[in-house]
A = this chain, B = another copy of it.
Amino acid sequence: MSPPPPPAAGLPTHISAVRRCLAAWNGARPAALLICAAVGLILRFGVPKPGHVTPKAWSLLSIFVATVAGLILGPLPVGAWAFVCVTVTVVTKTLSFAAAFSAFTNEVIWLVVAAFFLSRGFVKTGLGDRVAMVFVRWLGKSTLGLSYGLVLGELAISPGMPSSTARAGGIFVPIIKSLAAGAESQPKDPSARRLGAYLILSQMQSSNSSGAFFITAAAQNLLCIKLAESLGVEIKHQWVTWLKASCIPAGISLLSTPFLLYKIYPPKLRTTPEAPAMAKQRLEQMGAIKREEWIMIGTLLLTVGLWVAGEALNMANVVTAMVGLSILLLCGVLDWNDCLSDKQAWDTLTWFAILIGMATELNVLGVVPWLSGCVSDLLKHLSLSTFGTFSLLQLSYFFIHYLFASQTAHVGALYSAFLSMQLSSGVPKLLAALALAYNTNLFGCITHYSSGQAAVYYGAGYVELRDLFPLGLAIALINLVIWALVGAAWWKILGLY
């Protein structure tokens, strides 16, 4: 990673030998590895174990904390680090192999994997492009309209494409790039601000709201709900319940984002007459809807239909996704090699299952209930009201995301604990679970590293880091205000509290 050090003529030989050795090292980053290991070891052996907690549970907590430290500091890529940590849990017999790997049979993990594959179908068939182009042709005459076209296009496909990252990388970044190029707005160039930078930032920040809109619009949503259920929160008719509570605040957030950014981060180009023309031309090039696209549309209607009606049919979400994927495989819309090449899917399967496995066992071994009991005692001691507790925990959960490089990792590491603290402080169950899940979407783009889609949009090269941080924070705060005010009112009407 680091360049070879300059010849160290003046240094004693043994120091320069160590330097050479470190420069040739291409394994785990030493400082990060040391810190993570130290954190785990100090917690395990240096901190006196509370009486209520069994030695095994205390060991697991230490390893889990070291694992989460590694998610933040990155001694190794996330998947490799999770693998090393789960190895430590089984070698030390903290967990049995079966317990450590138990989450590989978790429905949501496989739903996430299937979601990656389904999303590929959207990209591969060109259906995602087509939908976006229809919206661009309709609304794209002005820059602001163009952005609304793209944002509404994303909203339209999101219920059937449960990966914000795939939507960004597979559909919207390529489209915005070609729109910007058509208007002579180039990445990594002063001309970026003509059009590309605004469109990218608007799409990026709106993706928070489209992700929060439908439970099946982002993989982590389903996980949140699953984790909530395992803590005893009963959620009936999940797809509809989610949408009922999200539609008003997410809709307002979604509709205000392009406009607000148009004011605070204005594009130099205000009209884009060539965009609808380009969209028209692209749609003509695409020709009539192809056989693969029809199959994709049929599969999506079936999948989303089954997701909506799942409970009535007693069909789990994952089974619906499996049916959809099977149809695409049988019809050759996706081939198996597409699935096997999807490194992100296999990576997520591995580290996510490992993390969820550890988090589940922490719960089983009583660590999470104990910890959240302590925190809620502390909060009671501070004489915070239920409302104060709710706000404090939601805000902490939000801002901790500056430390995380993935929304799913954040959920795996912290969702259960933060929900559990709210439940033991008396926050209404459904309110706590849903608010925390929506919250997980809202922090998706506060930095360029905070999620897969943020990295992809930033990677397009139009937006500079010095703009991205303050604007990410500004939109996040505006969203928080919208959700706090509108959400609170709407949820009162719905009777969530």
Contact = CB atoms under 8 A, between A and B. Distances in A.
A76 B329 contact: yes
Contacts of A54: none
A347 B346 CA distance: 10
A181 interface: no
Interface string A315-353: 110110011011001111101110111010011000000
Interface in A145-163: none
A318 B76 contact: no
Interface string A180-197: 000000000000000000
A90 interface: yes
A383 interface: no
Interface string A340-377: 11010011000000000000000000000000000000
Interface string A269-286: 000000000000000000
A102 interface: yes
Contact of A79 (B24, B339, B343): B339
B107 A105 contact: no
Interface string A459-475: 00000000000000000
A133 to B, nearest CB: 24
Interface residues of A, number: 47
A399 interface: no
A46 interface: no
B329 A97 contact: no
A80 interface: yes
A83 interface: yes
Given A80-B336, A332-B26, A316 B97 contact: yes
Contacts of A323: 87, 91
Given A25-B332, A332-B28, A326 B83 contact: yes
Contacts of A102: 105
Interface in A79-98: 79-80, 83-84, 86-87, 90-91, 97-98
Nearest to A75: B330
Given A24-B291, A77-B335, 14 more contacts: A26-B335, A27-B330, A28-B329, A79-B336, A83-B329, A87-B323, A87-B325, A91-B315, A91-B323, A97-B105, A97-B318, A101-B105, A336-B347, A340-B347
20 contacts: A24-B291, A25-B332, A26-B332, A26-B335, A27-B329, A27-B330, A27-B332, A28-B329, A28-B331, A28-B332, A79-B340, A80-B329, A80-B335, A86-B322, A87-B322, A90-B319, A97-B316, A97-B318, A104-B105, A340-B343
